[in-house]
Amino acid sequence: MRQISIQKKNDILARLRHNETVRQVAEATQVSRGVVGELRKTIAHELHRNVGGRGRAIDTNLGRRIIRGISTGEYKNAADASRKLAASDSESKKPSAETIRRHLRDSGCRSRKKPKVTPLNAKRRKARLDFALAHRGWTIEDWKHVIFSDETKINRFGSDGAQWTWTCADGIVRDTNVQHTYKHGGGSLMVWGCFSWHGIGFMSKIDGRMDADLYCSILSDELLQTLEWYNLSKDDIIFQQDNDPKHTSNKAKKWFEDNAVNVMKWPAYSPDINPIENLWAIVKRKLNEYDEAPASMRELWERVEYVWEHSITPELCKKLIESMPKRMEKLYKAKGGHINY
């Protein structure tokens, strides 16, 4: 344990004896939670006997109600829960939003951005579950052969906005934990990319509207160059793509047939099981770290290329491929529903 002064140690112990939490004491005294926690252990016997004073703001039953309300979407967030509990005649305790946040954290919940997803109907869920069943037994060695691909939109002036949500310790992703979006709207700069166990592939900026002809041209240039760069045989890889009409067009199907590229059958509306989405998130986060927005679309593209080549390491690519068996298990347990990845 880090050495601290006698005066500070006494201050910490006094605060703990007055029922302040480890978090509160750490923030007030500018000492790490680990140090405060170790000191708390030395007086734990006193704290357990101390049953006097003000009662807990959230008892067991109320705590369960809060967790249930957050999980079902009855409460949108801690502030909403505080307001609704304050207006409830059935509850004598009226915890503040901060008290509720602390209770959620202590219960294993965490606040995170709502991912944008397309709603899943029964048919889409079944297709996703079937995919999980078909690939649940795949090992990392199997996934090493897959080249994942995708397009993404990158804004010149940052993201399209983010929402935050609480997810609880059971790890289940519910409709209230996601931000719905639909496939419409313009874009600032569209790029296509791919990656595999070996590392990132070649990337392409999409100029204008992408159709089947342009997609086949990208495959001829970027995908085949990627195979050549890593000295990969077509017989040894499986190409992953989503179900965009350009990808499944007759022209694209003919290109794959003519070039002897095996294509993985992919369930529709499944970006959460495609690890390249994690790479896009990293790229966009790195782009947002620039102090100033790019002066032109050309500068934006130059930044994208730099981040793709310097921030997406082979080690990161391997970790994402290694996550695929876990994704399949989560998808199976979610019965084809959205998973948290």
Give the CATH number for residue 143. Answer: 3.30.420.10
- The DSSP secondary-structure symbol of 185 reads S
Task: Name the least confident of 27-36, 129-138, 161-170, 211-220.
Answer: 161-170
* Residue 1 in domain: no
Residue 181 shares a structural domain with residue 276:
yes
Residue 88 shares a structural domain with residue 185:
no
Residue 198 shares a structural domain with residue 72:
no
* Residue 197 in domain: yes
Q: What is the largest CA-CA distance in the chain?
A: 80
Selection from 164, 58, 168, 60 nearest residue 105 by Cα:
168
Q: Which domain holds residue 37?
A: 6-49
* Residue 92 in domain: yes
Determine the Cα–Cα distance for residues 106 and 287; give it in Å rounded to an integer: 34
Please state the pTM of the whole predicted model: 0.65
* Residue 339 in domain: no
Selection from 234, 151, 243, 233 nearest residue 194 by Cα:
151
Residue-wise pLDDT tens digits, 67-77: 999 988 899 89
pLDDT of the residue at 114: 73
* Residue 341 in domain: no
Between 314 and 16, name the one with better pLDDT. Answer: 314
Residue 162 shares a structural domain with residue 291:
yes
Residue 124 shares a structural domain with residue 77:
no
Residue 68 shares a structural domain with residue 43:
no
Token readout for 103 is 């209770």
Residue 289 shares a structural domain with residue 306:
yes
With 0-12 / 13-18 / 19 or more C-beta atoms within 10 angstroms meaning exposed / middle / buried, residue 95 is buried
| Domains contained in the chain, number | 3
pLDDT of the residue at 30: 87
Torsion 80-82-84-86 (CA) sign? negative
pLDDT of the residue at 218: 98
Residue 81 shares a structural domain with residue 128:
no
Residue 264 shares a structural domain with residue 137:
yes
pLDDT of the residue at 187: 46
Residue-wise pLDDT tens digits, 245-268: 999 999 999 999 999 999 999 999
